[in-house]
């Protein structure tokens, strides 16, 4: 087994790692550290939670260590490494990690992100920093004010590139890249590789080495899924009922919008369920406060949007509840990744209203599993619609996959093994785009099926929330 010492890290870095109590490099660390130390460009398929921050931070510190200087002159501290992250939380976490690992290497580090005053950041930039962690918008603000010079960047890291794309940051990222010197090392990390990101990789990376790891604990993940069909206007009542009747004490609830998250947290508090919201409109201080209160158990329910939750180091949650289904199946996978970690079982609960049936069908297609439904007595859609809300009964389908219309407790939902997840990008090495990759949705679906050894019909009978409903758009 590879140890950190085997990787050839400096004693100063080994000491800092040891103080963290880390004995064995994670798979992404074992694979990426030698690549980055060799100065190669890298494309890392890895999510937050895999140890990817140390995977790029340690070799960057190793590379920059000879530049460490105690000189007070700003000229002796140019920005030599730039790490771009999509969210403030992730930026703050990355900066904290860099500080931790650089404890015995006197390099200067700072982080800049929006939502807080610019002046302290400006001051730090003026004094000079070797490692700059930033979100794109705020970095460009500093660039505009000529407070930062990126012309001496040796190593550029683009973290969570797919989330940058989701958040519409790619134009900003490209502008920032255009400010970097042409000769530099580039590292890109992404959990998924949609076409846009593949294109970005092709333009950004030069002869990259690909390193791909499964999400942390992916094989051990034991997440059970449950769908509760419910009329949209009864979702909040059902949520309160579930939290109370099942004595849920630490729940991450996902909403589609900031407004929705705020409103839900407010309403839950009014009903006596202690909740806090975390989303992009909150100040950094408010978000940190909410997160800390949740982690400490002072607040039982954290209501979040996808954007705010991405990058948060919240682990081992017993429950994740989708108050609204996410827009993409990828986001569903990210959401449920918050539970069932470290071999513990977790539950992913979705409150699904009839208008969300397409999203549910897409999710089921992606995870290649029909999620059991259960109508909780008194909370389902009205009787006339109830029968049409359920998936079609297929000959031979196991009875436990049938929803209960009585509200009686169903048998435990099937355990979900993330390995069976159909998004092979999590488990397969990256392959550059070829005509096959650019193929149509149908052939992608068929290819995904055959890769897993389970040939699929091009038009599988995906269970729709609305009975008898079929996809017609692909
Ligand atoms: P990251 O994916 O970088 O956000 O890291 C996820 C978590 O794993 C962080 O809390 C790290 O402190 C922790 N971690 C990083 N490397 C290791 C390691 N080699 N062994 C144990 N934990 C680690």
Do 4-212 and 223-400 come out as alike in CATH topology?
A: yes
What does each C-alpha distance from 315 to 242, 252, 379 come to in angstroms? 21, 11, 30
State the chain's mean pLDDT as an integer.
79
**Average pLDDT of the residues in 390-397:** 46
CATH architecture of 4-212: 3-Layer(aba) Sandwich (3.40)
Q: List the chain domain ranges.
A: 4-212, 223-400
Closest atom of ligand 1 to CA, residue 26: 19
pLDDT in tens, 9-34: 999 999 999 999 888 899 999 999 99
What does the pLDDT read at residue 30?
94
Q: Which residue has the higher pLDDT, 313 or 405?
A: 313
Q: What is the pTM of this model?
A: 0.58
**Rounded to whole angstroms, how far apart are CA atoms 138 and 386?**
49
Lowest mean per-residue pLDDT among 87-96, 189-198, 280-289 = 280-289
What does the pLDDT read at residue 418?
35
Is ligand 1 within 6 A of the CB of residue 311? no
Is ligand 1 within 6 A of the CB of residue 50? yes
Q: Per-residue pLDDT for 94 more than 80?
A: yes
Is ligand 1 within 6 A of the CB of residue 276? no
Residue the block writes with tokens 């870095």: 13
What does the pLDDT read at residue 463?
28
Is ligand 1 within 6 A of the CB of residue 100? no
For the chain, give the number of residues. 474
Is ligand 1 within 6 A of the CB of residue 313? yes
pLDDT in tens, 439-474: 333 333 333 333 233 333 333 322 223 332 333 322
**Average pLDDT of the residues in 248-276:** 93
Token duo for residue 411: 């048998």
* Closest residue by CA, ligand 1 atom 19: 25
Is ligand 1 within 6 A of the CB of residue 212? no
Task: Give distance in angstroms: CA of 34 to centre of ligand 1.
Answer: 18
Is ligand 1 within 6 A of the CB of residue 326? no
What does the pLDDT read at residue 432?
34
Task: Give distance in angstroms: CA of 373 to centre of ligand 1.
Answer: 36
Mutate to test the pocket of ligand 1, among 21, 53, 159, 310 (most ligand atoms within 8 A of CB): 53
Which residues lie closer than 8 Å to 75 by C-beta, 6 or more apart?
128
CATH class of 223-400: alpha beta
What does the pLDDT read at residue 310?
67
Mutate to test the pocket of ligand 1, among 26, 101, 187, 215 (most ligand atoms within 8 A of CB): 26
**Average pLDDT of the residues in 222-240:** 91
The 3-state DSSP class for residue 160 equals coil
């Amino acid at each position: 087994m590879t140890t950190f010492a085997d990787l050839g890290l400096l004693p100063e870095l080994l000491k800092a790692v040891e103080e963290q109590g880390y004995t064995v490099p994670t798979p992404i660390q074992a694979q990426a550290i030698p690549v980055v130390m060799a100065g190669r460009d890298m494309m890392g398929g890895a999510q937050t939670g895999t140890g990817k921050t140390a995977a790029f931070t340690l070799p960057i510190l190793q590379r920059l260590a000879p530049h460490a200087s105690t000189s007070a002159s700003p000229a002796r501290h140019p920005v030599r490494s730039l790490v771009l992250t999509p969210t403030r939380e992730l930026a703050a976490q990355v900066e904290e990690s860099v500080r931790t690992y650089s404890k015995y290497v006197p390099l200067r580090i700072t982080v800049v992100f929006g939502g807080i005053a610019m002046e302290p950041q400006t001051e730090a930039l003026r004094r000079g920093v070797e490692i700059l962690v930033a979100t794109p918008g705020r970095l460009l603000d500093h660039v505009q004010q000529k407070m930062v010079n990126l012309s001496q960047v040796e190593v550029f890291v683009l973290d969570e590139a797919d989330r940058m794309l989701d958040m519409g940051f790619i134009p900003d990222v490209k502008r920032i890249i255009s400010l970097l010197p042409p000769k530099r090392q580039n590292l890109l990390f992404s959990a998924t590789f949609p076409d846009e990101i593949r294109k970005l990789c092709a333009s950004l990376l030069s002869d990259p080495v690909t390193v791909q790891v499964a999400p942390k604990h992916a094989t051990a993940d034991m997440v059970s899924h449950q769908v509760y069909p419910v009329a949209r206007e009864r979702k909040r009542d059902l949520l309160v009922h579930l939290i109370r009747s099942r004595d849920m004490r630490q729940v991450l609830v996902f909403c589609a919008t900031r407004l929705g998250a705020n409103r839900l947290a407010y309403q839950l508090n009014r009903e006596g369920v202690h909740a806090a919201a975390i989303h992009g409109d909150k100040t950094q201080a408010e978000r940190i406060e909410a997160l800390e209160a949740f982690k400490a158990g002072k607040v039982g329910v954290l209501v979040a949007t996808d954007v705010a939750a991405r990058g948060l180091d919240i682990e081992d949650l017993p429950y994740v509840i989708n108050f609204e289904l996410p827009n993409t199946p990828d986001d569903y996978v990210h959401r449920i990744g918050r539970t069932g970690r470290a071999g513990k079982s977790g539950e992913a609960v979705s409150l699904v209203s009839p208008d969300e049936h397409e999203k549910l069908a897409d999710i089921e297609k992606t995870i290649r599993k029909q999620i059991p439904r259960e109508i909780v007595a008194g909370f389902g859609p009205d009787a006339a619609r109830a029968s049409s809300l359920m998936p079609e009964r297929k000959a031979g389908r196991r009875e436990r996959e049938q929803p209960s219309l009585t509200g009686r407790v169903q048998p435990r939902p099937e355990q979900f093994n993330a390995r069976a997840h159909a998004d092979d990008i999590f488990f397969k090495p990256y392959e550059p785009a070829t005509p096959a990759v650019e193929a149509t949705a149908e052939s992608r679906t068929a290819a995904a099926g055959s890769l897993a050894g389970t040939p699929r019909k091009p038009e599988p009978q995906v269970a729709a929330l609305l009975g008898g409903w079929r996809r017609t758009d692909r």
